[in-house]
Structure 1
Amino acid sequence: MKDSARGLLLVTSGILVLSFDGLLVRLAQTDGWSIVFWRGLLMFLALGVFSLSAKSRASVRAHPLLSASSALLLALISIFFVLAIIHTQVANVVIILCTAPLFAALFTRFFLGEHVALHTWLAIGVAALGIMVVFAGAFSASDLTGNGYALLSSAAVGANLTLLRRHPDLQRMPLIALGGLMAALIAWPNAQPFGLGSSSYWVLALMGLIQMPLATLLINNATRYLPSAEVALFYLLESVLGTLWVWYFLEETPTHAALYGGALVIATLVAHAGLTLRLRPAVPA
């Protein structure tokens, strides 16, 4: 399989798994800090054992500052996203997260000096237009705190994808495990982890042991094969899918604008993926 195709498969699969995140945060039915604590700790437990391999330990020892930076960015992504969902509507959060490709493209261009293809810029613009159409009929004044958290989460996504793109030799699994531990430690003073209902623990277990580790691992590994701006572009797809899951499971009916805008986003991503496969030559193994 060509590198571009492998990267597209990884990021598409990862975003599909990640798209349930907003729904699961809502279903947990508890405060944001407790959610951050448990899902971070469970991610650490789920991946920590695999991170004890000699290769993983060597990677962290060889790049301690880079490893700590990526882990901290992953922790901040989780914290800001959960707090954003708690403070404002899911629709507000996912539309703001659409700025992740812009952050990634800017970081890639100005910090790495890596060329960002014209068709990627065009895809970002068209897909962003689709997102505006999605929420045209429902996007209203939202809480400034929640919007601020969502913007910070988006910036952290772009920064982490760019860092991983610059250093493809970094082992992803220990970074995700350390990021989960950092998030749990940061959240601990404000969390109430042992006062939740049984249903909350089931949702948090699903989120922390399966959904978030799997999604993060897939997306972070995609940066080995694709530029960070292209990986971040797929967060636009998450905004559509995340809205659809909330509609289906929580009966928040999307507007016609959401359906039309979602179709535009998906069509844009398909066209961009096709151009990527055609224009980028395979990198020899």
Structure 2
Amino acid sequence: MTNNAKGLALTSFGILIMSLESLFIKFTTISPFLFSFYIGIFMFSSTMFTFIFKDKEHIKTAFKTSLPFLIICSIMMGSSNIFFIIAIKTTTVANVVIIFSTAALFSALFAYLLFKEKMTKNIFIASIFMFMGLYIIFSDKLEIGSIKGNIFALLCTVLFSISFVLLSRYKEMNRVVLTAFSGITLSVIAFFFTDDLQIDMNTLFIIMIMGLLITPISRVLIGNGAKYISASEVSLLMLIETIMAPIWVWIFLNEIPSIYTFIGGSIIVITLIINSLYTLKNN
């Protein structure tokens, strides 16, 4: 197997596993903040054990060279995770993952606004179609809760995109250390919005599977696979989650998106596919 084929296989499988996260969030009936509190603890535990038993030097390096940056990005990514969980709880999974799929284009926009990085013509054109798709999704006459869910999904995407741009400028930051601290930041933020930390064992078991298995395994597979393929290929493969997450929820929970989501989502997905293929061809 060639390195490119290996990268495609690892990344695809990792994204397929990651697409189950929305289903696991939907399976629970607890508040988004209580879910965030426990998932953050499990995210922190699963990643920190790696360093405790293997690479302690990465933690020391992160503290010595980039502590302020680590704190800023951890807060942004922790907040992004909370917004994602709230969005999944309050609107359809299809809406959330389609809105989140625009993160790559938002990243290009923020890179231009924050650091004056050149925005190519294809990104500019793709952004126009992206906002058209988002406008159609947001124009759906949903109940108030679903509209809030769309807004939280957009906030999640914006914060994630900004943190991604910052990370691209600061490549020395160890991503696994950042994931660990994002987890504990997620729990700390959620703690202040949670009145009661009591949780039943069935719900805790669901969160444990997601926090200790699904989330870390998917991220490791994607991280390893991304070493062998280009960023454009990764962006294209991320559409697996956009397509599969709503399918899992439809199969197990019979959640059907609205016609506005189908129309707006189709515009966004086709735009992302064309943009990724165009970028691959140029590279």
Tell whether 2:90 aligns with 1:87.
yes
Distance 1:94 1:263, change over 3 A: closer
Q: What is aligned with 1:29?
A: 29
**Greater Cα shift, 86-95 or 36-45:** 86-95
1:22 is aligned with what amino acid? S
Tell whether 2:149 aligns with 1:146.
yes
2:187 is aligned with what amino acid? A
Deviation per CA, 1:187-210: give whole Å up to 9, x if none: 124336753233212210121112
Gaps of 5+ in 1: 281-285
In the alignment, the residues of structure 2 paired with residue 90 and residue 100 of structure 1 have an alpha-carbon distance, to the nearest angstrom, of 16
The offset of 1:166, in angstroms, is 1.2
Q: Is the 8 A contact 1:11 1:219 kept in 2?
A: yes
Q: What is aligned with 2:204?
A: 201
In the alignment, the residues of structure 1 paired with residue 279 and residue 89 of structure 2 have an alpha-carbon distance, to the nearest angstrom, of 37
Q: What is aligned with 2:38?
A: 38
Aligned residues with identical type, % of pairs: 27
The offset of 1:213, in angstroms, is 2.7
2:16 is aligned with what amino acid? L
Q: What is aligned with 1:103?
A: 106
In the alignment, the residues of structure 2 paired with residue 142 and residue 94 of structure 1 have an alpha-carbon distance, to the nearest angstrom, of 19
SS of the residue 1:49 aligns to: helix
Distance 1:59 1:30, change over 3 A: same
In the alignment, the residues of structure 2 paired with residue 217 and residue 160 of structure 1 have an alpha-carbon distance, to the nearest angstrom, of 19
Residues 118-267 of structure 1: matches in 2 within 5 Å? Answer: 118-123=121-126, 125=128, 140-143=142-145, 144-191=147-194, 195-216=198-219, 222=226, 238-253=241-256
Q: Is the 8 A contact 1:44 1:177 kept in 2?
A: yes
In the alignment, the residues of structure 2 paired with residue 169 and residue 41 of structure 1 have an alpha-carbon distance, to the nearest angstrom, of 25
The offset of 1:169, in angstroms, is 2.0
Q: What is aligned with 1:283?
A: none
The offset of 1:186, in angstroms, is 1.5
SS of the residue 2:74 aligns to: helix
Q: Is the 8 A contact 1:101 1:124 kept in 2?
A: no
The offset of 1:234, in angstroms, is 6.4
The normalised TM-score by structure 1 is 0.77
The offset of 1:167, in angstroms, is 1.6
Q: Is the 8 A contact 1:237 1:266 kept in 2?
A: no
In the alignment, the residues of structure 1 paired with residue 165 and residue 230 of structure 2 have an alpha-carbon distance, to the nearest angstrom, of 11
Deviation per CA, 1:135-171: give whole Å up to 9, x if none: 6997734434333322211111101111111122211
Q: What is aligned with 2:120?
A: 117
Q: Which of these residues, 273, 277, 282, is aligned with residue 279 of structure 1?
A: 282
CA RMSD of aligned residues (A): 3.8
Distance 1:12 1:271, change over 3 A: farther
1:43 is aligned with what amino acid? M
Distance 1:90 1:266, change over 3 A: closer
Q: Which of these residues, 60, 63, 74, is aligned with residue 77 of structure 2?
A: 74
The offset of 1:20, in angstroms, is 2.1
In the alignment, the residues of structure 2 paired with residue 101 and residue 88 of structure 1 have an alpha-carbon distance, to the nearest angstrom, of 22
Q: What is aligned with 1:49?
A: 49
In the alignment, the residues of structure 2 paired with residue 199 and residue 152 of structure 1 have an alpha-carbon distance, to the nearest angstrom, of 30
1:16 is aligned with what amino acid? L
In the alignment, the residues of structure 2 paired with residue 166 and residue 218 of structure 1 have an alpha-carbon distance, to the nearest angstrom, of 23
In the alignment, the residues of structure 1 paired with residue 150 and residue 261 of structure 2 have an alpha-carbon distance, to the nearest angstrom, of 20
2:47 is aligned with what amino acid? L
The offset of 1:250, in angstroms, is 0.9
Q: What is aligned with 1:64?
A: 67
SS of the residue 1:252 aligns to: coil
